[in-house]
Amino acid sequence: MNAPVKAEDRFHQLIHQNHMWGLWEIASQMTPHPRPEAVPYQWKWSLLKEVVKQSSTAVPVGDERRAMQLFNPGLNGQWATTNTLIAAVQVLLPGEVARAHRHSPAAIRFIIEGHGAYTAVEGEKVIMQPGDFVLTPAWQWHDHGNETNETVVWMDGLDVPLTKALNAMFFEMHQDTKASHGKPVNGSKALYGHGKLTPTWTKERPLFSPLMLYSWDQTAEALHDLRSHDGSPHDGILLEYTHAQTGGPVLPTMSCRVQMIRKGEKTKAKRVTGSSVFHVVQGRGRSVINGQPFDWEKGDIIALPSWAQHDFANAGNEDAILFSISDRPVLEALGFYREDLS
C-alpha cells in the first residue's frame, strides 16, 4: 500500500511544476565565501609549443583566427578560461591575414614570439614585438597580418564569458579581409605613449585607453628601475598597465599587469575576489594555489579562479616576470572587490 503523500511533498511538487523553488531548498548557494566552478589550471609551454607547431600545418587561418582557446576543465566545456575571461594562443604564419571583424568583447594580446607582425585596430596598424602588450577595445575593427618571414605567436585575453553572462554579445565580420589602415602606423603610441606627457587637444575620454601599444622596452625598463624597491610582500614588483589619460585600468572590464618576482624572492599568500590568467614571460618559479603546487616556467599559462589562495616563489637563477589579466575593474565597480592578505 502506498504511503499517503504528505502535504509538504505535494506542496514541493506544486511549486517545482510551476517553476518555483523554496529558498530553504537552495539556501546553500549563499556560500560563506566564493566557491568557483573554475579550477586552478596550468597549460605548460612544452604542450602549447607543440600545439602551436602542429596548428600551423593542421589548420588554415580561414575567416576565423588560428587561436586555440584555453577551456577551464572545471567549466564543463564552456568557452571560458575563468568564469569571466578567455585566454587563447594564436598563431599567424608569414604572409597570412586574419580577416577583419569586430565584437563587443574587448581583447588584449601579449606577444610571445615573432617580430614585426601587426594588428590593425580601428585603422591603426600596431606593429608587435615579443613582450609587447596590445589592446583591441570593444567594438573596434581589427585584422591581424604577418608581412614578415617569421611565425608569430601571442596570447589573447578577452572578456567573452562576462559578455555572454550579461547577454551583450555582438559580432560582425568586415566586408573586406583587411579594414582600411588609414591612420599612422603605431599612431596611438606617438600620441599617448609618453607616460605623463599627454596631448591637451584630444577631448575624448574613452572608457578604454587610447594607447594601443605598450612596448616591451618600456615595460622592461620600468621593472628594471624598480628592482631595488621593496615592492609588495604579496606580489613583488607589480605594475599595472594604465589608461593613458585617466590612470585607471586599460579596459573597463580588464586589469592588465606585469610583475617581477626577483631571484630568491617568495611572496606571502593572499586571495582576492575576481579571476585572473597569468602568462610567464621569463624565468621559473612555483605558486601554491589552494594548497596545490604549480611549477611554472617561460611560456606557461595559468588560470586562477576567484578567492584562490596563491603565492609566488622564484625558483630559478634569474628574475621571473609574469603578465596577467583579471576582471578586477568589474568587481571594483560593483563593490564586490575583497582581499584577504592573511
Which residues form the interface with ligand GTQ (CB under 6 A)? 65, 67, 88, 90, 103, 107, 142, 156, 158
Residue with smaller CB distance to ligand GTQ, 98 or 321: 98
Residue with smaller CB distance to ligand GTQ, 166 or 169: 169
Minimal distance, residue 42 CB to ligand GTQ, in Å: 19
Please, what's the b/e burial string for 238-252 (b: 16 or more CB within 10 A of its CB; e: otherwise)? bbebbbbbeeebbbb
Residue keyed to cell 628601475: 225
Which of helix, strand or coil describes residue 6? coil
Minimal distance, residue 212 CB to ligand GTQ, in Å: 14
Minimal distance, residue 150 CB to ligand GTQ, in Å: 18
Q: Is the dihedral of CA 41, 82, 329, 90 positive or negative?
A: positive
Residue with smaller CB distance to ligand GTQ, 72 or 90: 90
AA identity, residue 173:
M
Residue with smaller CB distance to ligand GTQ, 140 or 306: 140
Minimal distance, residue 154 CB to ligand GTQ, in Å: 9
Read out DSSP for 203-246? Answer: ----SS-S--EE-HHHHHHHHHHTTTS--BTTTBEEEE-B-TTT
Are 165 and 127 in contact, with CB atoms under 8 Å apart? no
As separate numbers, helices (DSSP H) first and strands (DSSP E) second, the chain gives 7, 22
Residue with smaller CB distance to ligand GTQ, 158 or 321: 158
Please, what's the b/e burial string for 131-153 (b: 16 or more CB within 10 A of its CB; e: otherwise)? bbbbbbbbebbbbbbbebeebbb
Burial level of 271, CB count in 10 A (0-12/13-18/19+)?
buried
Minimal distance, residue 112 CB to ligand GTQ, in Å: 13
AA identity, residue 60:
P
Minimal distance, residue 294 CB to ligand GTQ, in Å: 23
Residue with smaller CB distance to ligand GTQ, 88 or 261: 88
Residue with smaller CB distance to ligand GTQ, 158 or 325: 158
Minimal distance, residue 80 CB to ligand GTQ, in Å: 12
Q: Which three cell numbers stand for residue 13?
A: 511538487
Residue with smaller CB distance to ligand GTQ, 83 or 140: 140
Minimal distance, residue 152 CB to ligand GTQ, in Å: 12
Nearest to 321 by CA among 137, 135, 46, 130: 130
